[in-house]
Amino acid sequence: MRKLITLLLITVLIVSCVNNSEKETFINDLLSQMTLDEKIGQMNQYNGFWDATGPMPEGEYQKARYRDLKNGLVGSMLNVTGVDNVRALQKIAVEETRLGIPLIFAFDVIHGYETISPIPLAESASWDLEAIEKSARVAAIEASAAGLNWTFAPMVDISRDARWGRVMEGAGEDPFLGSLIAKARVKGFQGDDLSAFNTIAACAKHFASYGFAEAGRDYNTADTNEYTLFNTILPPFKAAVDAGVSTFMNSFNTVDEIPATGSTFLQRDILKGEWGFNGFVVSDWGSIGEMIPHGYARDGAHAAEIAANAGSDMDMESSLYVRKLNELVTSGKVDISIVDDAVSRILGVKYDLGLFDDPYKYCNKEREKEIIGSKENQEAVLDIARKSIVLLKNENQLLPLKKNNQTIAVIGQLANDKNSSIGNWRGRGIANSAISVLEGLKSYEGNKLIYKKGVDVYYGDTNFFTRLDINYSDRSGFNQARLAAKSSDVVIMVLGEEGFQTGEGRSRTNLLLPGLQQELLEEVYKVNKNVVLVLVNGRPLNISWADENIPAIVEAWQLGSQAGNAIAQVLYGDYNPSGKLTMSFPRNVGQVPIYYNYKNTGRPSKSQKTVTASAYSDVENSPLYPFGYGLSYTSFDYSDLKISSDSMNVNQSIIVSVTVANSGKYKGKEVVQLYTRDLYGSLTRPLKELKGFKMVELEPGESKTVNFTIDNSLLKYYTVNKKWESESGDFNVYIGGDSNVEIFKKFKLID
């Protein structure tokens, strides 16, 4: 048997070497035929510039771009979607340019193409890696059926700041969970075989520190020290490389005072050097040119020189490579080997996708018609939507709702909104196509529903480019909402953020429910205490008042196409919620940035009353809801924490176990979480770090023992020696249902 396995391994190795050398030969051969301009063309990415199936482009700008395309000066297009459009442009590249090199077509397929999954932050709350992978798979299947072969996802930026609107696109605040989710998403998009017709190249973005924008203001300076960079920000990027991600995108911000787009340290030393990444790096939109306002480049030529030398392989939409790189190479400011390396990487990804075998492989009209929006895809996104919901509070078992003979007031503009749940970065998600909460609730017929909007959160149309016009003055619907609430058994209030209120450029300094929604909530509560607050939003909000007063709170995020069905199934108990937060919810915005894996400081606070400890005078340090937190309709008890040994060396491991019992009335799932604390080190260490988790499903009365193995790899971090290593010393280990868990065992790592 062993012989057979060895033989198989050798065969696989030989085949992959032959394939690799075939690929290398192909690329080198192609490279040798290319003029300098054609090479630079591969490094140029343009936004879709005309309706490809319509008339010829008009206007000077359009015509110039069309000429570039015909002259082989474009390597990739973004935002061109649909088989007809993609085919039309690909045809020009393949049939009209001298060498016929196919284009690679990119699009932001972040949480679905047309069938929309929950926003990524919501999905991360499922802690269900299989479901997350499946969601990316569905997105890839639909995108590839629409002619696309490259998505600008996953965004793997860690963020601790809910003011930053792009937290909706990430996996929350934790690098361990973030790394596993990064892997799952890359795998979902790329599958096992990138050359298959239904897989697409993924892109880990934004490299790096973009999620640490100061004060949560998008695009702002990020001031992260080397250790935060290595221990917190980079792990998910490294995980994406390990999962075989084909491309990276750099970021708009500075890192160590240098724009990431111009950072040799990040792109050459770390990514392509230390990590051995052999895909290519695309700039973020216009970020090469933005090095001028950053005050880092003198002019366009200088910006192109810096970016190319630093390892930005493809220029998204600043046109600086196509305009300036030839002269920079001729004058020796950029070595031709830099260009050759970038082009080889880009051609390499095109090769892996199989575009040289068949440039139209993603252009199948029948597939496009059959696959996009299919029933199967809708079912898949419903599944992940249910799993993403987090139950934050449920006093007196107000939930699940009774299915019959109840009068239920449903209040809030967002309850009747078919658009917000599609969220931002919605691909080609169709406006107003989500199942609304009201529609979901109506599919249960045993109760009487009374819907009242109560208040407009915002006015007018919403889209990616405009700021919302929020209502701060019109309370004319309050009275009707109060009347409906008064005559009902239960009130479901659906409040939160409109779909375009989070995402790029959507920073906020206030995390309260926008507009007059908080006021409406308080008014309704005065007349009926049985309120279930359903939050539809894209980031942690300040809901301290609701936590104190409202008996039941459900975090339902922006859940995508099937939002209303998922929410109704959870409210009625046909799905028992199992989600857990992946970002801490602050008590108020002044606590932000807030995260569970903080440092103890030299003056940890035990009581707010102690003035000389690290505390606030007006609010306690802890978040309202911590990382890892989420309830179920049933309850889980943890007992019998055991550790197999109180010491280990670097070659050994220990087993930690706990008994989890379902002590409630419903069958339910629990995410059992393992945390460690390294009590001292060559650098100060976080109070807790997530090191593992397991999902268990238990019938009422059932219990299970859950085991975790701790080995040396889990104890490593980027130390003062600037390497990943463990350090001997004392550790605590905790297992529980959220990051607040306090019971622990101790062990020693010995030399």
CB of 726 to ligand BGC, least distance (A): 35
Contact assessment for residue 200 and residue 143, using Cβ atoms and an 8 Å cutoff: yes
Burial of 477 (0-12, 13-18, 19+ CB in 10 A): middle
CB of 256 to ligand BGC, least distance (A): 20
CB of 305 to ligand BGC, least distance (A): 23
For ligand BGC, the closer CB: 424 or 462: 424
For ligand BGC, the closer CB: 108 or 174: 108
CB of 98 to ligand BGC, least distance (A): 29
For ligand BGC, the closer CB: 152 or 575: 152
The answer to whether the bond into 206 is cis (omega within 30° of 0) is yes
- 697-736 positions binding ligand BGC, by CB under 6 A: none
CB of 105 to ligand BGC, least distance (A): 13
Q: Which of 68, 108, 284, 383 is catalytic?
A: 284
CB of 285 to ligand BGC, least distance (A): 4
Binding mask 647-686 for ligand BGC (x = CB under 6 A): ----------------------------------------
Contact assessment for residue 698 and residue 660, using Cβ atoms and an 8 Å cutoff: yes
Residues 672-711 as b/e (b if ≥16 CB within 10 A, e otherwise) read bbbbbbbeeeeeebbbbbbbbbbbbebeeeebbebebebe
Ramachandran region, residue 488 (left: φ > 0; alpha: ψ -120 to 50; beta: rest): beta
A 10 A CB-CB count for 286 gives: 15
DSSP characters over 76-97: EEES--SHHHHHHHHHIIIIIS
- 238-297 positions binding ligand BGC, by CB under 6 A: 284-285
CB of 219 to ligand BGC, least distance (A): 9
For ligand BGC, the closer CB: 156 or 531: 156
Closest residue by Cα to residue 309 from 257, 258, 352, 233: 258
For ligand BGC, the closer CB: 150 or 636: 150
CB of 533 to ligand BGC, least distance (A): 32
* Number of residues in contact with ligand BGC under rule CB under 6 A: 6
For ligand BGC, the closer CB: 252 or 625: 252
Contacts of 667 (CB under 8 A, 6+ apart): 576, 634, 697, 698, 699, 700
For ligand BGC, the closer CB: 133 or 504: 504
For ligand BGC, the closer CB: 312 or 344: 312
CB of 183 to ligand BGC, least distance (A): 20
If residue 353 lies in a helix (H) or strand (E), which one and from where to where? helix 336-353
Helices (H), 554-683: 563-571
- 440-459 positions binding ligand BGC, by CB under 6 A: none
What does the alpha-carbon distance between residue 272 and residue 495 come to, in Å, rounded to a whole number?
Answer: 45
Q: By three-state DSSP, how is residue 749 classified?
A: strand
Helices (H), 550-634: 563-571
Q: Which residue is nearest to ligand BGC (CB)?
A: 152
Helices (H), 389-472: 437-442
Beta bridge partners of 201: 150
Among 41, 72, 73, 108, binds ligand BGC (CB under 6 A): 108
Tokens matching residue 58: 């008009």
Among 205, 302, 580, 677, binds ligand BGC (CB under 6 A): 205
Pair type for strands 76-78 and 104-107: parallel
CB of 700 to ligand BGC, least distance (A): 45
Residue 360 backbone phi and psi in degrees, to 5: -105, 20
Contacts 24+ apart (CB under 8 A), 739-744: 739/596, 739/597, 739/626, 739/627, 739/628, 739/629, 739/673, 739/675, 739/688, 739/690, 740/622, 740/626, 740/628, 740/629, 741/638, 741/673, 741/675, 743/638, 743/641, 744/641, 744/677
Binding mask 474-513 for ligand BGC (x = CB under 6 A): ------------------------------x---------
For ligand BGC, the closer CB: 505 or 573: 505
Burial of 640 (0-12, 13-18, 19+ CB in 10 A): exposed
Contact assessment for residue 182 and residue 239, using Cβ atoms and an 8 Å cutoff: yes
Active site residue 284: yes
Measure the N-to-C terminal CA separation of the chain; round to a whole number of Å. Answer: 38
Task: Answer yes or no whether residue 557 interacts with ligand BGC by CB under 6 A.
Answer: no
Tokens matching residue 1: 């048997």
Tokens matching residue 489: 């058994």
Binding mask 120-159 for ligand BGC (x = CB under 6 A): --------------------------------x-------
- Report the residue count for the chain: 751
For ligand BGC, the closer CB: 152 or 744: 152
Binding mask 574-603 for ligand BGC (x = CB under 6 A): ------------------------------
What does the alpha-carbon distance between residue 477 and residue 454 come to, in Å, rounded to a whole number?
Answer: 4
Residue 490 backbone phi and psi in degrees, to 5: -135, 150
If residue 298 lies in a helix (H) or strand (E), which one and from where to where? none
What does the alpha-carbon distance between residue 231 and residue 349 come to, in Å, rounded to a whole number?
Answer: 29
For ligand BGC, the closer CB: 349 or 449: 349
For ligand BGC, the closer CB: 205 or 452: 205
CB of 281 to ligand BGC, least distance (A): 13
Residue 559 backbone phi and psi in degrees, to 5: -95, 5
CB of 504 to ligand BGC, least distance (A): 6
Contacting residues toward ligand BGC, per CB under 6 A? 108, 152, 205, 284-285, 504
Active-site residue list:
284
